[in-house]
Amino acid sequence: MNVMISGHRKEKLSSYDPEWIKEAIRGILFDLKSEKGYVKGYSGMASGVDLWFCEICKEWDIPYVACIPFEEQADYMEDDDIILRDALIKTAIERKNVRNSYMVETCDAAIVVWDGNKGGTHNCFQQLVEKKKDFWWVNPVKQIVVKC
C-alpha cells in the first residue's frame, strides 16, 4: 500500500494543535499497517506535516520515499527543520526530484491535512478527487478525520 501525505507547512499550522494532527496521522498509519500489512510512504519533505509523517514512518519502520519538488526547498525553512529534513532524507529508502502530481499518481491512498483554504494542499486535494484516490482528510480546524 503506497500512501502519500499532503498538508500545510509548519508556519500555517501555528493556530492548530500539532499534537492532535500528529496523533491523527499516527492513527491512520497504524490502521493501514494493521490492515494491509505493508505500507510505503511518500512525502514532499516540507516543514510541518510532511516531516511529521516521515518521523512517524521512521518510528514504526515504515519505509518512505523523499519526494523533493525543487532543490532550493530547504531555503524556505527554519534551521531546525532543515536539520530534521536532512536527517530524514538520509533514512528514506529513495530520494526523487518530483512534485505532488507524481505522488498522487503513485499512491493507492493519501492523508491530507487541510484547513479548507486555497493553496498547494488544496491543489493536491483536487488532484486526489479527480483521480478518484482514497484519502483521509485530517481537518485541523474541526479536529476531525474524514475518510473520502
Percent of the chain with pLDDT over 70: 100
Reading the block at residue 34, the C-alpha cell is 494493521
- Strands across the sheet containing 144-147: 94-96, 64-67, 40-43, 2-7, 109-113, 134-139, 144-147
Please give the residue that has the higher pLDDT: either 132 or 11: 132
For 44-99, write each residue's pLDDT tens digit.
999 999 999 999 999 999 999 999 999 889 998 999 999 999 999 999 999 999 98
Number of domains the chain contains: 1
Q: Report the chain's C-alpha Rg in angstroms.
A: 14
Helix or strand or coil: residue 114? coil
CATH of the domain at 115: 3.40.50.450
What letter would DSSP give residue 131? T
Residue with cell 516543514: 47
119 has pLDDT over 90: no
The predicted model gives 16-45 an average pLDDT of 96
**What is the extent of the structural domain holding 130?**
2-147
